[in-house]
């Protein structure tokens, strides 16, 4: 390893999130606008070979040990198992975040290609509410996708639910019951100011303490030491699994963050809330060397802030929404 990706605060970055597309098969209201989404031209997307080259350089020269594929929705990218197979050869922890609407159709192919773990985004277990949030009548397909992920052997399978006050905050116990019955890990995520509608406000955030209080009304559990994970983890005392809370707003974990992000069009961002980026697509297509890639990315990591500053007067939200940045 020649160059650790270290920012000015001494945080070493070993977790790479790769957005393989900006497109999605849902129109979830907090990820993308209901109308008028401007999609990237296909020529603007990094090719599988370009993605793999960046990943290989970061693994072999910079110590990256974990890669997660995100979107948009990664499964809408044609021939996705081909990319998974290329990345699996790097020998790192390889996972994916998906809405699982079509996962049942390709779960076996992804597993065979080398995908190890999977996170499934699901914000409600009520069919009418699901349609209201996504403009798709696909809850049954998503649940089928969860079952398919379990069947083929992904371990662990995690279900991520973004809680929003007045929308789905009454489903905490329902999600915990789902996790316990299926043997999956449910993780509640605080609502962040990355919604494409720009309607985020602090009073819509269901906080860490609120979630924990509701869970404790029905279940007995104990905390687990978090380490570098973004989720605070809790194990049930009866041995039936665990759940987690990612409290990005009320209990930020910026001091232990080790993530960098590669967007579908080749931007490397040092934070989900970064206002700037470095364009590695230009380096790739301009004949740059592997060392040029390392220099560009290391420089971007070095510029990382101390924290995202959500809730503070100087906070500025990025121009891109969640669907364009990846989770």
**Six token digits for residue 73:** 């929705």
Contact between residue 229 and residue 273 where contact means Cβ atoms under 8 Å apart:
no
Q: Say how many residues make up the chain.
A: 327
**Six token digits for residue 16:** 């790479």
Distance CA 146, CA 120 (A): 7
Question: DSSP secondary-structure letter at 256?
Answer: G
Please, is 142 exposed, middle or buried when counting C-beta atoms within 10 Å of its C-beta (0-12, 13-18, 19+)? buried
DSSP 17-34: EEE--S--SS--TTTS-S
Element containing residue 261 per DSSP (H, E) = strand 259-262
The CATH number of the domain covering residues in 15-325: 3.20.20.70
pLDDT tens, per residue, the chain with 327 residues: 579 999 999 999 999 999 999 888 776 655 555 555 566 888 999 999 999 999 999 999 999 999 999 988 999 999 999 999 999 999 999 999 999 999 999 999 999 999 999 999 999 999 999 999 998 999 999 999 999 999 999 999 999 999 999 999 999 999 999 999 999 999 999 887 655 555 657 778 899 999 999 999 999 999 998 776 788 999 999 999 999 999 887 877 778 889 999 999 999 999 887 878 999 999 999 999 999 999 999 999 999 888 665 555 455 555 555 555 555
Element containing residue 174 per DSSP (H, E) = helix 172-182
Distance CA 198, CA 293 (A): 34
Contact between residue 100 and residue 73 where contact means Cβ atoms under 8 Å apart:
no
What angle is formed at CA 265 by the lines to CA 263 and CA 270, rounded to 5 degrees? 35
**What is the per-residue pLDDT for 253?**
74
Domain locations along the chain: 15-325
Distance CA 54, CA 11 (A): 21
**What is the per-residue pLDDT for 172?**
98
**What is the per-residue pLDDT for 283?**
98
Contacts of 26 (CB under 8 A, 6+ apart): 73, 99, 101, 134, 135, 136, 138
**Six token digits for residue 230:** 């973004």
**What is the per-residue pLDDT for 325?**
53
DSSP 60-80: HHH---EEEEESS-GGGSTTH
Distance CA 178, CA 80 (A): 28
**What is the per-residue pLDDT for 320?**
55
Distance CA 149, CA 155 (A): 9
Residue whose token pair is 């083929």: 152
Contacts of 187 (CB under 8 A, 6+ apart): 158, 159, 160, 161, 231, 243, 244, 245, 246
Measured between alpha carbons, how far is residue 243 from residues 91, 97, 124 in Å? 28, 17, 16
């Amino acid at each position: 390893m020649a160059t650790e990706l270290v920012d000015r605060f001494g945080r070493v970055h070993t977790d790479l999130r790769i957005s393989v597309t900006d497109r999605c098969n849902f129109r979830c209201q907090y990820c993308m606008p209901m109308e008028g989404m401007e999609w990237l031209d296909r020529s603007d997307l990094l090719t599988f070979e370009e993605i793999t080259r960046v990943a290989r350089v970061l693994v072999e020269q910079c110590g990256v040990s974990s890669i997660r594929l995100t979107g948009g929705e990664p499964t809408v990218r044609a021939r996705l198992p081909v990319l998974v197979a290329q990345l699996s050869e790097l020998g790192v922890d390889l996972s994916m975040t998906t809405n699982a609407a079509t996962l049942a159709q390709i779960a076996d192919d992804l597993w065979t290609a080398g995908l190890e773990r999977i996170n499934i985004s699901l914000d409600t277990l009520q069919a009418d509410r699901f349609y209201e949030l996504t403009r798709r009548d696909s809850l049954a397909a998503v649940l089928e996708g969860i079952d398919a992920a379990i069947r083929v052997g992904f371990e662990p399978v995690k279900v991520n639910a973004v809680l929003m006050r007045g929308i789905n905050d009454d489903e905490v116990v329902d999600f915990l019951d789902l996790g316990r019955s299926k043997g999956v890990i449910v993780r509640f995520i605080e609502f962040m100011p990355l919604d494409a509608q720009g309607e985020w406000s602090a009073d819509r955030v269901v906080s860490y303490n609120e979630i924990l209080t509701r869970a404790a009304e029905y279940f007995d559990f104990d905390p687990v030491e978090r380490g570098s994970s973004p989720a605070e983890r809790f194990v049930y005392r009866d041995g039936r699994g665990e759940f987690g809370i990612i409290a990005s707003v009320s209990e930020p974990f910026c001091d232990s963050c080790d993530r960098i992000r590669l967007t579908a069009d080749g931007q490397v961002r040092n934070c989900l809330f970064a206002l700037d980026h470095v364009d590695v697509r230009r380096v790739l297509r301009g004949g740059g060397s592997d060392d040029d890639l390392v220099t560009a990315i290391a420089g971007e990591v070095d510029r990382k802030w101390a924290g995202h500053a959500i809730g503070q007067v100087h906070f500025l939200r990025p121009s891109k929404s969640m669907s364009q940045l990846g989770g």
